[in-house]
Structure 1
Amino acid sequence: MVRQAGKQSSGTARLVLLCVGLLGIGLVADLFWASSSRFDPSLSISNNWSPRFSNATAFLLPSNSNQSHESPSNHKDANVEEKSKDKRVLSATYADLPAPELKWQKMAAAPVPRLDGAAIQIKNLLYVFAGYGTIDYVHSHVDIYNFTDNTWGGRFDMPKEMAHSHLGMVTDGRYIYVVTGQYGPQCRGPTAHTFVLDTETKKWRDMPPLPVPRYAPATQLWRGRLHVMGGSKENRHTPGLEHWSLAVKEGKAIEKEWRSEIPIPRGGPHRACVVFKDRLYVIGGQEGDFMAKPGSPIFKCSRRNEVVYSDVYMLDDEMKWKTLPPMPKPDSHIEFAWAIVNNSIVIVGGTTEKHPITKKMVLVGEVFQFNLDTLKWSVIGKLPYRVKTTLVGYWQGWLYFTSGQRDKGPTDPAPRKVIGEMWRTKLQLNS
């Protein structure tokens, strides 16, 4: 028994010595590794940029931008970036495009703030329709701005059955044709009702309903027919490609039914639609939109994926859609944010693609010009702030905009409050 105990103590001692030896070898190897030229303490995970963030930054900060990166201490999305394990600091906004400064004057504000409303200019009068006051309240009346004396007045009511937002609308210089749109607040369903307003008598008349309801379709008068294209389908999200037309004259429909026309190449709502020199243009827009939350008794808005695009299409004598040069950046919510100035289409504000990290909506703060002689785009000025669904007019050299939803501030392009402000700037363009 004694001999067996002695052998056991000897084996234990050898095991301890072996462990100590191995530990020593490990420490020496670690010392040599630390002193090796292959180890650089300045290296960090920030050098290993993921392709997803690399692409986003390239879009956020184009090479012609002078915008600098913000420091992490001032960055609202620093916690998001920390979670991403990427130490680079992404800009809090898509970089605004370089643009000349414009001198803006603040005019009398609209009687009520409006989001997703509509506007039609006839001579020196801007008729401003409907729209959200808040997400839970919609307007059902018309306000009029007089460009000659720069005052608001002449309020009157809309028909009870008429949509309150996302309207299609156009004028022939006296009559205003109103097509479909969303009826009620939040994300309620659309209506197929159509109306016409005689601006001289302030009287409304019904017209044949659209074949199916639509949200924010592109709408124009062209060659004696009322054209309605695209928009979102009844669920508010799915893009519609359908294109219908109805013969109209002096505020009356001279046909009983809408006629199917060549479908638009790309569907969706919130686009500018313009007729100039017998050609019809459809500009910008998006695919997708908010939808009503399933089972919600108030049709509460629920966020869905949206794709904003810069596409420009044209119809001419051949009645085939032609693709024209795209906008300087993707732009949506511009259906009443345009004016014809000389031989150009001028577009004010809008929304562009969402921020790649926060996924928040990014508003547009530039004024764009599309020269219809050269078919070239340019950025001709900056707005006082970024704004979407603003309502635009042009009178005697002055460009006006009113209402919509503005940004949170110079460094944050996300939407903040619905506004009724009116601004103007002197704008002269070469033909």
Structure 2
Amino acid sequence: MVRSCTGKHTFTKATVVAALGGLVGAVLVLDFLWASVSSSSSSSSSTYSYTIWANHRSRLVVISNLTDPSQNKRADVKEKKQRVPEGLLNYTFADIVAPRLEWEEMAPAPVPRLDGSSVQIKNLLYVFSGYGTIDYVHSHVDVYNFTDKTWGGRFDTPKEMAHSHLGITTDGRYVYVISGQYGPQCRGPTARAFVLDTQTKKWQSFPPLPVPRYAPATQIWKGRLHVIGGSKENRHTPGKDHWSIAVKNGKALEKKWRTEVSIPRGGPHRACVAVENQLYVIGGQEGDFMPKPGSPIFKCSRRHEVVYGDVYMLDEKMKWKELPPMPKPDSHIECSWVLVNNSIIIVGGTTEKHPVTKRMILVGELFRFDLRSHKWYSDWKASLPCENYSGRFLGMDGCILRLDSGTEDPIIPNQGRSLEICGEPS
């Protein structure tokens, strides 16, 4: 009821409650009508799909779930487990708006790979091991010649060397391979380490890591080989450990690894870049697939993962400093970076799992980190024709070469592809 008193209006509590009730009722009616329309649209759909709409101003994504009623009951049950109400999702799940770069497809890689590794030495790219399938791992190196754009010069790795999740770096001639996973599926890690002389293609043993790690950040900085983080022996727990050992010409100058200051946040699959007096560790994740308990083949089982875009810099005083994070969380980028014009370029990778399907989301962007301003840019980027999962990149003569590209699923690799773009970031 509204009462008039000296020309002014007042409201009773009952009126306010009634008004709110009416508003809620109207919302419920509209929601019911919308649900009816959605249901009708869904029943007429002949395919099962997820429609994603990105609101780039609000950095949110709306997902609409459309289902096919002709699917069998078993599929319906599985679908119900995956289904979430329509709503707003984090912008992580949509590509950032930016101009698309032109890509040229190159000679296909000799074999498909997942979780392999690579290093560039002059005009050659050395691609190491990795999964062929979840039940098969490679034990060889393929070499790509950037000059004539061909593959060749394949040779084997040591029998005792890890097959995936390697810690890897080079001084321009020698390649240091540290720890990693030995075998297919989700088998255990090895602490063994080796050095490759790329001129003679001969391998030598190297002091083993104090404890084994999966995919630790690895880089040579100020005359010492640094190994940082990775996943611990159970494959899931992030390690913060940091060791170093003096090296020169493919030899360890010390008998044991030295313990260094731990990184603030642990985990595997990070880019590790040395620039003059600073060491940068970029992106990564906490958690990973684990072997299924009791499985005789160490069958991989999904576990909770947190992908992040954290950036840490180690200075001359051996102190870690946290820098601005990447534009979106990014992992599997240990071999997906190049240095160009005072910038670190990160291409592809993986981000957080899709909230509906729980499948891995592949990153289609190119991110640039300005080493002078410590700012990230995504205005010069590549919308990859096939988003990258643990891809291989080579920088030379103002070009970035993407090799041995990935897949839509971490378990099932596609045939290897090679793509190239040329240009310089502004």
TM over 0.5: yes
Q: Give 2:422's aligned residue.
A: 426
1:142 aligns with 2:137: no
Contact 1:138–1:164 (CA<8 Å) still a contact in 2? yes
Superimposed CA distance per residue, residues 100-148 of structure 1 (whole angstroms, 9 cap, x where no aligned partner): 1100000001111110000000111000000001000000000110111
Given the superposition, is the C-alpha separation of residues 42 and 132 from structure 1 closer, same or farther in structure 2, using an over 3 Å criterion? same
Aligned to 2:261: 262
Structure 1 residue matching 2:192: 3-state secondary structure:
strand
Residue identity opposite 1:395 in structure 2: M
Matched, 1:124 2:123: yes
State the one-letter code of the partner of 1:335.
E
CA distance in 2, matches of 1:160, 1:84: 46
Distance 1:354 1:151 in 2: 35
Matches within 5 A, 1:95-114: 95-114=94-113
The one-letter amino acid paired with 2:118 is A
Q: Tell me which residue corresponds to 1:19.
A: none
Q: Are residues 220 and 86 of structure 1, via their aligned partners in 2, closer, same or farther at CA, if it must alter by over 3 Å?
A: closer
Identical counterparts, % of pairs? 60
Cα distance in structure 2, aligned partners of 1:333 and 1:387: 9
Deviation at 1:65, TM superposition (A): 6.3
**1:164 matched residue in structure 2:** 163
Deviates more, 1:65-74 or 1:219-228: 65-74
Q: CA deviation at 1:81?
A: 7.3
Question: Match for 2:285: what amino acid?
Answer: Q
Contact 1:363 1:415 in 2 (8 A): no
Cα distance in structure 1, aligned partners of 2:23 and 2:287: 54
Q: Is contact 2:52–2:63 with CA below 8 Å preserved after alignment?
A: no
Measured in 2, the distance between the counterparts of 1:112 and 1:83 equals: 34
Aligned twin of 1:33: none
* Alpha-carbon distance in 1 for matches of 2:55, 2:425: 29
Gaps of 5+ in 1: 1-35, 49-56, 409-413
Inter-partner Cα distance in structure 2 for 1:378 and 1:387? 19
Q: Aligned equivalents of 2:152 and 2:111: distance in 1? A: 12
Distance 1:337 1:111, change over 3 A: same
Matched, 1:355 2:354: yes
- CA deviations 1:55-114 (Å, max 9, x no partner) are xx9997442669886573699999857986835597998111112110000000111111
CA distance 1:219–1:37, shift in 2 (3 Å): closer
1:216 corresponds to? 215
Contact between 2:224 and 2:245, CA under 8 Å: does it hold in 1? Answer: yes
* TM-score normalized with structure 2 length: 0.83
Residue 393 of structure 1 corresponds to 394
The 1:415/1:39 distance shift into structure 2, 3 A limit, reads same
Separation in structure 2 between the aligned mates of residue 46 and residue 115 of structure 1, nearest angstrom: 47
Give the structure 2 partner of residue 63 of structure 1.
57
Mark the CA change 1:47 to 1:347 in structure 2 (over 3 Å): closer, same or farther.
same
Residue 44 of structure 1: SS of its match in structure 2? helix
Distance 1:127 1:216 in 2: 17
With over 3 angstroms needed to count, the CA separation of the structure-2 counterparts of 1:71 and 1:240, relative to structure 1, is: closer
Residue 27 of structure 1 aligns with which residue? none
- SS of 2:85's partner is coil
Does the CA contact (< 8 Å) of 2:131 and 2:137 recur in 1? yes
Distance across 2 between alignment mates of 1:70 and 1:423 = 33
- Let me know the Cα RMSD of the aligned residues: 3.1
After superposing the two structures, state which structure 1 stretch, 75-84 or 192-201, moved more: 75-84
Q: Distance in 2 between matches of 1:141 and 1:353?
A: 31
Partners of 2:194 and 2:411 in 1: CA distance: 32
1:72 alignment counterpart: 66
User: Aligned in 2, Cα 1:112/1:37: closer, same or farther, shift over 3 Å?
Assistant: closer
* Paired position in structure 2 for 1:20: none
Q: CA deviation at 1:419?
A: 3.7
Which of the pair has more CA radius of gyration?
Answer: 1
Evaluate the alpha carbon distance shift between residue 200 and residue 324 of structure 1 in structure 2; reply closer, same or farther with a 3 A threshold.
Answer: same
Structure 2 contact 170–176 (Cα < 8 Å) conserved: yes
Matched residue pairs, number? 382
**1:300-332 CA deviation, whole Å, 9 max, x = no partner?**
001110000110000111210000110000000
The residue aligned with 1:44 is 31
The Cα of 1:378 is off from its aligned counterpart by 1.1
2: CA distance, partners of 1:46 / 1:363? 36
Structure 2 letter corresponding to 1:289: D
The CA deviation at 1:360 is 1.8
Note if contact 1:399-1:425 (Cα within 8 Å) is conserved in structure 2: yes
What residue identity is the alignment partner of 1:389?
S
Compare 338-347 and 61-70 and name the one that shifted more: 61-70
Write the distance in 1 (CA, Å) between the matches of 2:289 and 2:30. 44
* Aligned amino acid, residue 333 of structure 1: H
After superposition, the Cα gap between the structure-2 partners of 1:124 and 1:85, relative to the gap in structure 1 and judged at 3 Å, is: closer
The aligned amino acid for 1:279 is Q
Query: How far apart are the structure 2 equivalents of 1:96 and 1:74?
Result: 27
Q: TM-score, normalised on structure 1?
A: 0.82
CA apart distance, 1:44: 2.4
AA partner of residue 190 (structure 1) = P
Counterpart AA for 1:324: L
Q: State the 1:427 CA deviation.
A: 2.1
CA distance in 1, matches of 2:162, 2:24: 69
